[in-house]
Amino acid sequence: MAANETRYTLPLPEFRAPVKLLIVVAPYYKDITDQLVAGAQAVAAACGATAEIIEVPGALEVPTAIALAERMAKFDGYVALGCVIRGETTHYDTVCNDSSRAITMLGLQGAAIGNGILTVENRKQAEVRAEALGQNKGGGAAAAALHLIALSRKWATDTKGIGFRP
């Protein structure tokens, strides 16, 4: 079972210049997303990053809000948070697949995003994964965004030049 596996976690990156994160949360299951947000805020603070939080109606709106912010605001990276619990219909599959796909597409376009939208079978699974003092998936999503920001800053300083490479 994955819960019993030993996992390696990268050390948090260090930054010379301030980092500004946008945490986008769909608070449909507010008690669960409050834990995700707490974990994300703690990791952001541990790196010296500032974080602004906005709420959207559901997981499908999270990537849209990130896309709007990427075009219209000034953030270094984004943390996508929410929780989708399987129900009786196929709506679960649509929400999980489409929100994840949209976040991935934004990332491939250059946005530094940590995806912390839980996709679970039941409430107990969500509670275990969200708990800030437990699996802390919100903190993990913030850490992922911060690592991508560190990479983008590293590579932004490298120049590739013009023409042929030696």
Q: Which residues pair with 23 in a beta bridge?
A: 53, 79
- Dihedrals phi, psi of 147, to nearest 5 degrees: -65, -40
76, two tokens:
């270094």
Helices assigned H by DSSP within the chain:
30-46, 61-72, 91-108, 123-130, 137-157
What φ, ψ does residue 161 adopt, rounded to 5°?
A: 75, -175
Q: Which residues of 6-28 are buried (b: 16+ CB within 10 A; e: fewer)?
A: eeeeeebbeeeeebebbbbbbbb
Residue 91 annotated as catalytic: yes
Give the SS3 label for residue 2.
Answer: helix
For residue 98, which amino acid is it? D
Report the alpha-carbon angle 137-24-10, nearest 5.
35
Q: Looking at 30, 91, 123, 154, which residue is catalytic?
A: 91
Residues with a catalytic annotation lie at 91
